[in-house]
Chain A
């Protein structure tokens, strides 16, 4: 069976997207360190070209098929049957676009706030972009794992070098947390490789069926990697530290793209590879998701640090995503994917906004703010839009995602739906309270006389505002990408049959 349709653009667009930023980073390496503005403009240009290059993915995508598109395949390490295999389907295509867009905004928001080691900073961001796109495009497990781990390095540097006072702790914590999970996944990948006849080809692996016992163990091995990235309760504690200490651009990438990879992994790998195990684990996953939703939301109420609050709100929102995914119905999964995009946009935008004001005041304490709306009205308006999207007001993107997820979650398990809905109440509580303490009430001495957003910052925030309303008012543009892929995925999950085979025998075969 032909698993993928060929690239209809006539040139290897995905490779170009992955390696353009990396080549750009190499180019930056050659530039003189002293010419900061040249470095900035060059990285902006590279990120804009990458974004422009990704637009054909949006316009030329064939929404009527679940097959992989824009496919590329070359031999890489023939002796191990490792290939360089790229492709996109309706689940992954939007994330590539999100990554390229977010990178531009990250370059823009760091324009004046990164004052040391500027060159290395932009190199890290561009390498990050290439690795992120690589993760979403890979159809070969070895390649996937390569990009997956490659992402850690620039992020580790971003936090560890340009972060806040406690940056080393946060960076090491982030690195180890994610690495431990990833290594377990690597074990899972190798087991799969040997079990399925020495292939890393993800599409081929997906056509096979695995005995339940094997599925069960592999599900948890992959879970370790994905749950940490999401992050799900109870492995979420790296996120607040990483977000708080990271520079603005780091937080934005982390929130907008990096933590999406966990949920993406669940959809791309866990569900189709281990359908029976996924179905059997649904109660556990739904429980963890609901705990994350409520836990993350309640904990936000007592935060005193702007970035920490938004970080914990990510835990809550990503709980919605995993809830939707493991609802295992089309509303849930599509809502989950859309909510991943939404969360990328909204939380990314919130971190961008925090960055805007942090550049001016150099404090993250909520108590240091107050009355910002009087001094910075345009900024306040933009932040209000992000707040509203975050609490899921209809006509913003947050509503579409959360509604579909709660609908799907409720259909799958009534308690999950009902409890998740309480997260929305608490969500309104902490976000509005945050907004009140920062923007309303009497003007705090520390914010008096601040300048409103300038043109660069407006350009940074505006795409997010537009996307929020675009998805909120006409989500079908984006949902349309997913229908076929999600339908195909759910067919695979819901019709899979269990083959009970003696696990010991299999392990022996694997080890041989």
Chain B
């Protein structure tokens, strides 16, 4: 236990040291603390992996956090197969990105602050994945959101950056609203928020209905959907995806770590973790699958036409997260987590490469002003190319194995929407390949389209940045080989080559696809063809006949505009939610209720008394005789009354 404690608490210590001492004492050396801490966490995480492989899992409380009546919850840790995969992903990515940041953030004013936040993020993320109860999950969940807020708004002098940070936090709060209610429902149903008893008893509630806000609903569907609200927010699924593209205002290593590799996958992790609940509700699973599928298609189409290098990768992230939910929604949690794991490597790599390009271009993000960078920055080019091949699902690369697993499970699984989401998934595979290579071709091929000064400035990034690129690249290529489909493994005479599925079985189960081998080959073939044709089309558009995209954009101007403006979702929210709320606040609550109703009464009563006394004061003439006469009259009246009695 005490060893495992090191995993989250080393980064926490680094955060505390950096935030307290960084500004005055550490300054340019701030990275050492953070890197050593996260490296320590990584080492312990690898040892933990060894423990879990040898069959040792752990579920233990550290201390009791909140007690109130029958409600009791602890800070505690659960180490099992799912946790350990996440631990490896988080610590590996975090460590490499910490190292990369040394080069990328060099000379920045808030150097210490940056590393402090990164460490805090790592701590929160690790607390999230290691939690053994829902409330601690919620702690990590909000904690990573907070770090994301800090880091998106890292350049806080820029209005756009601080806007984006705030937006991320608030949009996530909408999701957490549902998530929190889900946790409360879980407590009220099971009397506890610990995973183990909840997942243990879940079968007994399978067909129960509950009255929620006056409607009778299926209990498990309700809980699952409430929890999924949180996942929608955190993992930027429709309709709460709007914060993620804006989050690219943060420094690029942040986009790589938080908004690609780790934090945004927390939603997928949570759904996988709660698979006993989700599996009991067909409706909830269908919602998950459709949300994932639609989001992935929706954001892939936006990605086609964007020009901002980081936003394209951001939309690609949303799309790939949709893929993961799609997998969870068809019951293939293992496939979802497997994709999460491979995606972490190639997506982090894509972002870091984009960061490297920005570094060379002095912060320029517009693809239209790049081109021909291949010869200036070969390492970046090759690693990015390999990452793109991986995301495009080219056989042999990590992305291929996980994507194929998802598509096959969707096609062959028992889900009623399986075929439909498989179709969407395949289309998305094509689109993904297309926009990924559009990015590569526009950035690295052709002629340089920027200014002379920029061209002069072009250079490969320093070693401290390129080495993490190369290491992540190894992950992007080889990480998939732990989950080679049994079909392919069989050819090479390896039984159970889908090793990751076997590994995860105790936690996530492993639904088998119900299809023939030929069908499996067909699904695989179609996705490979989709990937290659996407690459081919991108090559045609952006290498060979470069005038086609412009013509297409002119011909389908309306569609192009809608896509380019991201389906106007931001504008819609501003119109439907933000502005009416502020309008109500200003005009109705302040203007009418407070000012015209409550204050009218509050100030009106004294005013009324004032008016009355204005009249009464006229009795007070100031003439002595008047007073005397009134007094005499009073005396007479009193005497009269006494005599008449």
A residues at B contact (CB < 8 Å): 173, 176-177, 234-238, 295, 298-302, 329-331, 334-335, 371, 373-374, 377, 381, 388, 393-395, 399-400, 403-404, 406-407, 410-411, 414-415, 417-418, 421-422, 424-426, 428-429, 432-433, 436, 439-443, 473-476, 479-480, 483, 487
**Among B135, B170, B594, contact of A237 (Cβ-Cβ < 8 Å):** B594
Q: Chain B residues with Cβ under 8 A from A381's Cβ?
A: 19
**Among A394, A404, A429, A487, contact of B71 (Cβ-Cβ < 8 Å):** A404
The answer on a CB contact under 8 Å between A410 and B188 is yes
Q: Chain B residues with Cβ under 8 A from A234's Cβ?
A: 597-598
The answer on a CB contact under 8 Å between A421 and B68 is no
The answer on a CB contact under 8 Å between B157 and A418 is no
Where chain B touches its partner, the secondary structure class is: helix
The answer on a CB contact under 8 Å between A479 and B66 is yes
Quote the shortest CB–CB distance from B531 to chain A (angstroms): 40
**Among B139, B157, B166, contact of A442 (Cβ-Cβ < 8 Å):** B157
**Chain A interface: which of B174-182, B272-280, B393-401, B405-413?**
B174-182
Chain B interface residue count, CB cutoff 8 Å, equals 52
The answer on a CB contact under 8 Å between A421 and B180 is yes
Q: Chain B residues with Cβ under 8 A from A334's Cβ?
A: 68-69
**Among B70, B162, B213, B598, contact of A415 (Cβ-Cβ < 8 Å):** B213
The answer on a CB contact under 8 Å between B181 and A436 is no
The answer on a CB contact under 8 Å between B599 and A237 is yes
Q: Give chain B interface residues in 53-73, CB to chain A under 8 Å.
A: 63-71
The complex places the Cα of A415 from the Cα of B181 at a distance, in Å, of 11
Where chain A touches its partner, the secondary structure class is: helix
Q: Chain A residues with Cβ under 8 A from B584's Cβ?
A: 298
The complex places the Cα of A483 from the Cα of B66 at a distance, in Å, of 12
Q: Chain A residues with Cβ under 8 A from B589's Cβ?
A: 295, 298-299, 302
Q: Chain A residues with Cβ under 8 A from B582's Cβ?
A: 301-302
Quote the shortest CB–CB distance from B564 to chain A (angstroms): 27
The complex places the Cα of A157 from the Cα of B594 at a distance, in Å, of 26
**Among B68, B70, B184, B594, contact of A335 (Cβ-Cβ < 8 Å):** B68
User: Counting CB contacts under 8 A, is B169 at the interface?
Assistant: yes
The answer on a CB contact under 8 Å between B66 and A400 is yes
The complex places the Cα of A473 from the Cα of B598 at a distance, in Å, of 40
User: Counting CB contacts under 8 A, is B218 at the interface?
Assistant: no
The answer on a CB contact under 8 Å between A299 and B142 is no
The answer on a CB contact under 8 Å between B71 and A407 is yes
User: Counting CB contacts under 8 A, is B491 at the interface?
Assistant: no
User: Counting CB contacts under 8 A, is B586 at the interface?
Assistant: yes
A-contact 0/1 string along B378-422, CB 8 Å cutoff: 000000000000000000000000000000000000000000000
The answer on a CB contact under 8 Å between A406 and B184 is yes
User: Counting CB contacts under 8 A, is B163 at the interface?
Assistant: yes
The complex places the Cα of A302 from the Cα of B590 at a distance, in Å, of 8
Q: A301-B581, A331-B71, A418-B213 are in contact. Are A441 and B162 (CB under 8 A)?
A: yes
Apart from A330-B70, A331-B68, 9 more pairs, CB < 8 Å: A300-B585, A425-B170, A425-B174, A428-B173, A432-B169, A439-B156, A441-B159, A483-B67, A483-B68
The complex places the Cα of A443 from the Cα of B63 at a distance, in Å, of 44
User: Counting CB contacts under 8 A, is B23 at the interface?
Assistant: yes
Q: Can you list 14 residue pairs at the A/B interface with Cβ under 8 Å?
A: A173-B602, A302-B585, A373-B156, A393-B142, A404-B71, A406-B180, A410-B181, A410-B188, A421-B177, A428-B169, A440-B157, A441-B157, A441-B162, A476-B67
Quote the shortest CB–CB distance from B301 to chain A (angstroms): 29
Nearest A residue (CB) for B149 = A432
Q: Most chain-B CB neighbours within 10 Å: which of A381, A436, A487?
A: A436
User: Counting CB contacts under 8 A, is B153 at the interface?
Assistant: yes
The answer on a CB contact under 8 Å between A441 and B180 is no
**Among B19, B181, B581, contact of A421 (Cβ-Cβ < 8 Å):** B181
Nearest A residue (CB) for B167 = A432
Q: Chain B residues with Cβ under 8 A from A417's Cβ?
A: 181, 184
